[in-house]
Structure 1
């Protein structure tokens, strides 16, 4: 499993615990011993730099490969992000072909979809995966889908399962998401000092709890079924739910105004949020999960509201794990990392 020490990977390790599987975890920075990371044998691999020749021996003999690797930072180095998310998948596909792996489970995203229908409503897996052009993350997710299309058109193994989850939330990702989104000098207590939430009332995004995504990965590996599968809680997160967990008063502000404010802060380097994420938040369609229910035997066990609350608990308590990716965030730690490694939006190891 590539990306086994991250948000989803940690939960997948737990989902397979006790099943008797021989798990191999692949990541850049191997986590220390201890649960749940002691349930796998580890290999240190950087997909931005490795080759298929180097990766093939890692895959050799596996029944399935699960690719969870993606990079969100350094956000200002989109070339690096593309080398990880698109170039890395190209390497994985070639190594899997050479190693004669029968099955690949690839973590795509709702971010691969084109803007949702103007009339609203949910979309199924046939909706175009052309992405949102103003956000590198979405462009790269769409490019990865094209690589998978080309591989399937060639008729070569492995069989490919594409999982397309909404925003993936859990308590233990609290510190990591604060590290990506909150300016380094702000403590987590700032979350409780937000008096108003200025946001367009049309805001509604699909979300899913990490443990539910892990269950989908497990089911996909066990069933070996091909194709794409949307993963989402039954209800979306709206402005009202977001305001509730922040204990803030929602204030209707048009999307262009919100976008302009975020873009100004990004340009002035006051925060770490690429304004393209605002475009994605308002363009992302709500998704239909019928196919995952019927063919993966999957259904969400967390509501969107409860998943968001779980994340906010993690943010307020600086929830973390021993994994370098999910390590605890502190203002002092952020300051030391910034001095030693540079801004998170530019350094290679956030």
Structure 2
């Protein structure tokens, strides 16, 4: 099967490309900055395309002709201080990729939605794929995910292409460590500090679902091979709570209420001391717990890694600045990153990070 992966060098895309290539599929990778060397370069046929460019639909359609499926992964949460660009990237980029697939006659389009598309939880019961996808209004990422869901609803009604929607929880694996540091960790703080945190200030009610990239990629391949349609919640077994995170970091958990944490995050974000939009804390506090029953029943999927294993890999990757041989997943080198910020400004303002 010839599969075009749009956004093929990031946290999810790189894992999916690896599995598709290992399974013998013909992979076409699309990214703003394709890999130029190393193992990643050998895994696919690569094309450099910016989905926000005026010629994106034409360029993407040329690459997609003859493909049996397209997987669209491009979505951003940096630069967090440029919501206009993020909207263009997230919603406009998805529209461009979808339009190009239709123009090229591709029969199957797989879009990556996420847990962030869901409306805030009503209670603690697990929710299935029919739960409302109104997003969290305080976070651009979540609002954009909800807007893309409406875009896909409209295209499904037209019936021009078969559409599947992946809704994963937080995704963890070791190679994502360097990129997570660039996106979320204050650049002026050495990575070494993360390995020696004395305390972890976090609300004692924190809990989160995680999925390992290998399990997520397996679910996507099953969707592609079965030409499945509709939405699929994907998460590893179990949840991760405050004491679990503290144990991995070797820190003592300290209860820090959501409202205090949110206030601190908002102030430090406004002062450009850190790059994470405080709306992410609103999402973390209100996200529903997903049921993965549909993926298990219809795809025959089940995770090999539980949530604890996935988050352990991600945090260990962050503590050591781990990465992979793609521009988006390059390992973090603190001094180099600091110099880059001094030359080009913080990641919360830069379009290419």
Task: Work out whether the TM-score is over 0.5.
Answer: yes
| 1:326 and 2:346 aligned | no
Residues 13 and 37, structure 1, Cα contact 8 Å, conserved in 2: no
| 1:343 and 2:346 aligned | yes
Could you tell which deviates more after superposition, 52-61 or 14-23?
Answer: 14-23
Secondary structure, counterpart of 1:9 in structure 2: helix
2:241 pairs with one of 223, 231, 238: 238
Residues 26 and 44, structure 2, Cα contact 8 Å, conserved in 1: yes
Cross-structure match for 1:68:
73
Cross-structure match for 2:102:
97
Q: Deviations for 1:101-160, whole angstroms, at most 9, x for unmatched residues?
A: 10011111000000012x312100001010000001000111111100000011212x11
Pairwise CA distance, 1:57: 0.9
Cross-structure match for 1:77:
82
Residues 2 and 68, structure 1, Cα contact 8 Å, conserved in 2: yes
Pairwise CA distance, 1:92: 1.2
Q: Deviations for 1:69-98, whole angstroms, at most 9, x for unmatched residues?
A: 111211111111111110011111111111
Q: Take 2:159 and 2:49, find their aligned partners in 1: how far apart are those partners?
A: 28
Q: Deviations for 1:291-329, whole angstroms, at most 9, x for unmatched residues?
A: 011112211111111111111221122111111100111
Secondary structure, counterpart of 1:291 in structure 2: helix
Aligned CA-pair RMSD = 1.2
Pairwise CA distance, 1:217: 1.2
Q: Deviations for 1:172-222, whole angstroms, at most 9, x for unmatched residues?
A: 000100111111111111112322222222111111111111111111111
Pairwise CA distance, 1:19: 2.9
Cross-structure match for 1:11:
15
Q: Take 1:307 and 1:36, find their aligned partners in 2: how far apart are those partners?
A: 22
Cross-structure match for 2:292:
289
Structure 2 unaligned blocks of 5 or more: none
| 1:151 and 2:135 aligned | no
Q: Take 1:9 and 1:320, find their aligned partners in 2: how far apart are those partners?
A: 14
Structure 1 unaligned blocks of 5 or more: none
Cross-structure match for 2:213:
210
Secondary structure, counterpart of 2:160 in structure 1: coil
Cross-structure match for 2:40:
36
Q: Take 2:186 and 2:256, find their aligned partners in 1: how far apart are those partners?
A: 23
Instruction: Count how many residue pairs are aligned between Structure 1 and Structure 2.
Output: 348
